Amino acid sequence: MPTRPSTGALPLLTGSYTPDSGGEGPGIAALLLDPTTGRTTYDEEVKPLHVSGASFLAAHPTLDVVYSTNETEAGTVSAVARDGDGTGTLAPLGDPMSSGGANPCHLTVHPGGEWLLTANYGSDTAPGTVAVHRLGADGRLLEPTDLVVHQGSGPVAGRQEGSHAHQVLVDPAGRYVLATDLGADAVFTYRLSTLTGTLERIAVNPMSAGSGPRHLAFSPGGDLVFSADELSSTVTCHRYDATDGTLTALSTAPATAAHGVVNQPAGIVASPCGRFVWVTNRGADTVAAFRLTDTTLEPLGEVPAGGTWPRGLTLAAGHLLVANQHSGTLAALRIQDDGTLTQPHPPLPAPSVVCALAL
């Protein structure tokens, strides 16, 4: 990635819904985080780049390139180049390409840097899918190499009539690809062929009926996986078998202690030390902290998210960046030694922000 600013600030990118995708944001914007104070500011040297419906961002592991979902019914993904002169200027790298489904909401780059994996949420009439694109030597998007269609449904009316892929990620060993499906109450495990870019289904891991698994986070050791269960408003600790890519639920905790609100957990992060897990709560508008004791999630309390409808949650230099979609604010919460959170500075105005990426 381009050289960090001489001030020692950590460069960030945020993604937001744009006017042509139902929001008020610019698309992709460049920010700076002071790791000492937790203050976030806009990087005045870098102009925002209009990317329609930039709801999730992922960085290439070796190149100055990031990828964005374009979360619309048409469904595309974009590659964005960051130049190497230290300013981090953003520019399109080729044209957007079809994501292979409607409303792409998450993507990740395979560790080898040759493949982009995208989760398409789908729509009321289109099922959730997972797509693979080949990446060029310069990071640009090349041809799609596979598209798998999820099948399944759940008991929650209006949300689970069909499949809805919500996240795709690679396990810590780089052996399997896991895809959550909120509509099917399942996590699908695949093996990616790094020769052909095709996905082989290895396992289908059923989750609790009506839970609606949205996002996963691995423990540092890779033996545990934590799920943010959107529809049941819970957080679940699962044992992960890296040999066969299967999940076994071990314990579940309420995502929030708030009563009388409809709550939908969204982002989830596990600490690098393996002792803590954090989750954003849309509805309660909090970030909840949990301590992991053996395999039990013990609530440590909640703090205000710094806005309304907290969606994305990103770990960055001892802080958690919280993207509050409806209030249009980005909050930086400082992580204390005991896993609890504080907010040292007021949140930064960021219209329709839904995700952040630390570079």
Instruction: Render pLDDT for 103-157 as a digit per residue (tens, 0 to 9).
Output: 999 999 999 999 999 999 999 999 999 999 999 999 999 999 999 999 999 999 9
On the 0-12 / 13-18 / 19+ scale of CB atoms within 10 A, 254 is: middle
Identify the pLDDT of residue 84: 55
The residue assigned the tokens 């002071």 is: 34
The rounded distance, in Å, linking the Cα atoms of 20 and 31 is: 23
Q: For residue 73, what is the DSSP state?
A: S
Does pTM top 0.85 for this prediction? Answer: yes
Question: In order of start, what are the domains of the chain with their CATH numbers?
Answer: 210-304 (2.120.10.30)
Q: Report whether 167 contacts 179 (CB < 8 A).
A: yes
Q: Which tokens belong to 32? A: 């700076």
Q: Model confidence at 1, in pLDDT bands (50, 70, 90)? A: very low
Q: Report whether 28 contacts 55 (CB < 8 A).
A: no
Q: How far is CA 161 from the centre of its chain?
A: 24
Instruction: Render pLDDT for 240-261 as a digit per residue (tens, 0 to 9).
Output: 999 999 999 999 999 999 999 9
19 Cβ partners below 8 Å, 6+ apart? none
